[in-house]
Amino acid sequence: MRHRSLYLRSSLLTGVLLALAWPGTGGFTPLIFAAWVPLLWAEEQFAQSPKTGRPRNFMPYVMLALLVWNLATTWWLFCVSESIGTRLFTLIGPNIGNVLVMSVPWLLFRMVRRSFGGTGARWALVVFWTAFERFHMHWDLSWPWLTLGNVFASQISWVQWYEVTGHLGGTLWAWMANLALLGIVLQPARQGRGAVTAASLGAFLVIAVPFAGSFVRYATFRESGPSVEVVLVQPNIDPYTEKYGSIAPLDQLDRMLAQAAPLMDSATALVVMPETALQEPPTLSNESGRLVFHGLWENDMSDSRSLDRIRAFLAKHPGASLISGMSAARLYPKGASYPVSARVLEGMDRAFDAYNAALMVRSDGSWEAYNKSKLVPGVELMPFENVLGPLGGLALDLGGTTGSLGTQAERSVIWSTDKRVGVAPTICYESIYGDHVAAHVRNGANLIVVMTNDGWWGNTPGHVQHLLYAKLRAVETRRDVARSANTGISCFIDQRGDMHQQTAWWVKATVKGPVHTRTDLTFYAKHGDYMGKGAYGGSAVLLLLAMGMGLFGRKKE
């Protein structure tokens, strides 16, 4: 009973410390350096205890810590204004799923402990965890909201070296600090006061050296690249009562254009409107045997009233371009093969894909679209649909679009009228994926534009966390960020990661400011998540080594 109480308290403490460290829920960032220590210490006590009188398995305590962390930081998923069933699903599904996948690195750690011993297995855990975080960004149940490196989003001056490592470098830093502090706790029973002093010095250096280097970089960093003026529109249209109901799509567009107009001048290069700002329905008609597209069809927008109004607006402001989120569609040719996400038009032998997309319109009237590539599981994507069949209709009605949506593989760059601004079009959820955004930058983007609608969960930590994560993308790529959010918070983020001209939450607002269009590549922008890829290989080597040691009978405890 004493053992169970000890493990339980340690598990709960780790979960609480992780939550308190997290931006938006606690914000006490230094706690991340010690958050794992109670659980790691309890695991060591478990390993050293006689098998009689202790629980049979330590993993339930690991899962409890992970559950507390997940629930305490993402409880806001429950706050959608939907039925109680939908609310419970949006809360329980991601949290339980995340706990299960987060448990895998710990399970592997427990498996290799017999071969590597406690110290070696704990360093293997760091490799396993880093590999897990990389994997969690690239499968159908992707939910990397709690990637450990994201914890430093509210302390951007601490992690200026993300331009080299990316956010996975923050994950490594947090784990190294925890292992170093654990070493202080474990030393007295082994080697005495001198060892404790050495361990304390080591822990201090692990935390202090990256911090000091980052602070110097932050203090001396200077932005570079030509400056252009950008206008951000925050229409504050309620996603539940107005956006898809009481205000017609074209009326919404007219309001946003009217908001932008007073801030337009000859220096304005770009206007940014939020996710799914354009909602004109795509329809088809047969005119004398010819199929005619109406609305937001990516095949042909010649009959789109939304495009006409944007063109008329830009005609008054030569040299400016406008980028906006939109709900769009693309019709596949008759008899063509199409992906499982496509919806079949009965009686026409045709199918179309629906997209959460971005539309760039230039002052010369030309336009270009980008389709969101990182979809929200369960909302925009039915996971494993290629295996389970066309179940996209079961996806929840959240985020402005329904059903399983189409995507595009290319991380394209959308250019403004005069080619001065090459936009990395980043739609909502995509802004939490460092390597995804970096891929746009590798392809030539000199500005990150985030278009989002964070109003679904109300004034909760969700929209705050989402905003702060965009600061990491700015540092990783050294690109300015122009963020337009339907209900807030909209802002500019400079190449150092500092926010400027933040709007208030849930207000109608328009802001204008300069951004720099930088063209050189950071090490991270050039190489992406190389740390995660390396962790894949490292995990494989460690597992094979552990298996080999097990076969030859070498066991440690």
Full 3-state SS string of 342-368: CEEECCCCEEEEEEEEEEEEECCCCEE
Whether residue 75 has pLDDT greater than 60: yes
- Percent of the chain exceeding pLDDT 90 equals 78
* 514 phi-psi bin (left φ>0, alpha ψ -120 to 50, beta other): beta
The structure tokens 């908001």 sit at 259
pLDDT number for residue 188: 64
DSSP letters spanning 433-445: -HHHHHHHHHTT-
The band of 551, judged by pLDDT with boundaries at 50, 70 and 90, is confident
Report domain extents, the chain: 2-221+530-551, 227-519
The pTM for the full model equals 0.94
Whether residue 549 has pLDDT greater than 50: yes
Whether residue 82 has pLDDT greater than 70: yes
What element of type H or E holds 290?
strand 290-294
Q: How many CA atoms does the CB half-sphere of 334 hold within 13 Å?
A: 5
Whether residue 459 has pLDDT greater than 90: yes
Structure tokens at 148: 């450990």
Strand pairing class (447-452; 509-516)? unpaired
The band of 454, judged by pLDDT with boundaries at 50, 70 and 90, is very high
Whether residue 526 has pLDDT greater than 50: yes
The structure tokens 């991601």 sit at 94
CA angle 487, 325, 523 (to 5 degrees): 95
What does the pLDDT average to over 268-280? 97
Whether residue 422 has pLDDT greater than 60: yes
CATH of region 227-519: 3.60.110.10
Q: Which range is least confidently modeled, 24-38, 118-132, 334-348?
A: 334-348
pLDDT number for residue 83: 83
CA nearest 306: which of 236, 229, 355, 252?
252
Q: How far apart are CA 326 and CA 427, in angstroms?
A: 10
Q: Of the ranges 285-299, 373-387, 492-506, which is most confident?
A: 492-506
The band of 122, judged by pLDDT with boundaries at 50, 70 and 90, is very high
Buried b / exposed e over 401-423, threshold 16 CB at 10 Å, is: bbbbbbbeeebbbbbbbeebbbb
The band of 191, judged by pLDDT with boundaries at 50, 70 and 90, is low
Instruction: Give the contacts of 239 (CB within 8 A, at least 6 positions apart).
Output: 400, 453, 455, 456, 486, 487
What does the pLDDT average to over 66-80? 95
pLDDT number for residue 398: 45
Strand pairing class (290-294; 321-331)? unpaired
What does the pLDDT average to over 459-473? 97
Q: Which range is least confidently modeled, 145-154, 178-187, 331-340, 499-508?
A: 331-340
What does the pLDDT average to over 93-97? 91
What does the pLDDT average to over 231-255? 94
pLDDT number for residue 26: 93
- CA dihedral for 257, 261, 262, 268, sign (positive or negative): positive
pLDDT number for residue 406: 93
Whether residue 400 has pLDDT greater than 50: no
Q: Which range is least confidently modeled, 63-72, 116-125, 162-171, 548-557?
A: 548-557
Instruction: Give the contacts of 272 (CB within 8 A, at least 6 positions apart).
Output: 230, 231, 232, 233, 322, 323, 324, 449, 451, 482, 484
Contact status, residue 535 vs residue 134, Cβ threshold 8 Å: yes
CA nearest 268: which of 312, 230, 318?
230
CA nearest 503: which of 488, 514, 492?
488
pLDDT number for residue 264: 97
The band of 221, judged by pLDDT with boundaries at 50, 70 and 90, is very high
What does the pLDDT average to over 230-248? 94
Q: How many CA atoms does the CB half-sphere of 418 hold within 13 Å?
A: 9
Give the N- to C-terminal CA distance of the chain in Å, as an integer.
Answer: 23
Strand pairing class (268-272; 321-331)? parallel
Whether residue 276 has pLDDT greater than 90: yes
Whether residue 536 has pLDDT greater than 80: yes
Residues 360-394: tens digit of each pLDDT: 999 999 999 999 999 998 888 877 777 665 544 44
Whether residue 52 has pLDDT greater than 90: no
